[in-house]
Amino acid sequence: MGHDKLRKFAENETFPCLLQPSAAELLADGYFALRDHEVKGHWGERFSSPSAPLVLELGCGKGEYTTALAEREPAKNYVGVDIKGARLWKGAKYATEKALGNVGFLRTRIEFITAFFAPGEVSEIWLTFSDPQVRSENSRLTSPPFLERYSKFLKDGGLVHLKTDSQFLYQYTLAVCRANGLPVLASSEDIYAEPERFDPSLTEVQTFYESMFREQGYPIKYLCFRLESSPAPRTFVSPADFDPDYWRSVEGDRTLFGRDTAETRRQKLHRKV
């Protein structure tokens, strides 16, 4: 492990806004019987305004979106969730240096999320440039297993926001909403082509990957849907009208993502065929 990563891990221990629970303790009774963490139901106590609405960003990476939203919306509390400590270091350091009293970070796997948030504790969820998991439906953050998790802690009428460059994930999520009767409040296949339809923050606040994909010519898609809370387990179904093979072909080979231009990527795909 590099010295810089070790330095970041050590500094992470000093940030009061960053919670790093033990996975072993959560899993003491097995994967399907997660133990609740003591913060569950008590997130408000970690912020300067305890009663403010709580918003999660799942898969927050370096936390630039979490902190930017928190600075724009001081009347809400924000928690960024990611498993990578070296990434979270940047957001946690920024929030600490700027003394942002409405920002927190949680280092954990998103599969464990129900161990940390109580029923009705969360108002909104942001999914920003999540891996579309084109080969594994249950790993997609808008799949039925994840919606079941979210429904356990979202308030009545809680919102889920998806911002993505992936046509595959965007179309899949639309199909999931249709299959489960989830109200779609807003959708766009290119938010930058019609910015007047949305709150300015949707285009003014960008993640690292968002900026990169835009430079490469990829349209940025947005979807917002309502997910009612469900204290009792609710069953969500997979969409029967979604053709993964077709949308995989539209998506192309995501292993080529990086700093290639869109044209270079198209050329690589053509050579592979």
CA 40-14-86 angle, 5° bins: 85
CA–CA separation, 62 and 59 (whole Å): 9
Question: Measured on CA atoms in the order 103, 153, 171, 182, is the torsion positive or negative?
Answer: negative
Of the CA atoms within 13 Å of residue 59, those in its CB half-sphere come to: 19
Residue of 29, 131, 199, 243 marked catalytic: 131
Q: Is 253 a catalytic residue?
A: no
Q: Give, for 156, the enclosing helix (H) or strand (E).
A: strand 154-164
Q: From residue 260, how far is each of 59, 62, 82, 132, 269 by CA, in Å?
A: 23, 21, 26, 19, 12
Instruction: Give the C-alpha separation, 206 to 21, whole Å.
Output: 28
> Which positions are annotated as active-site residues?
131
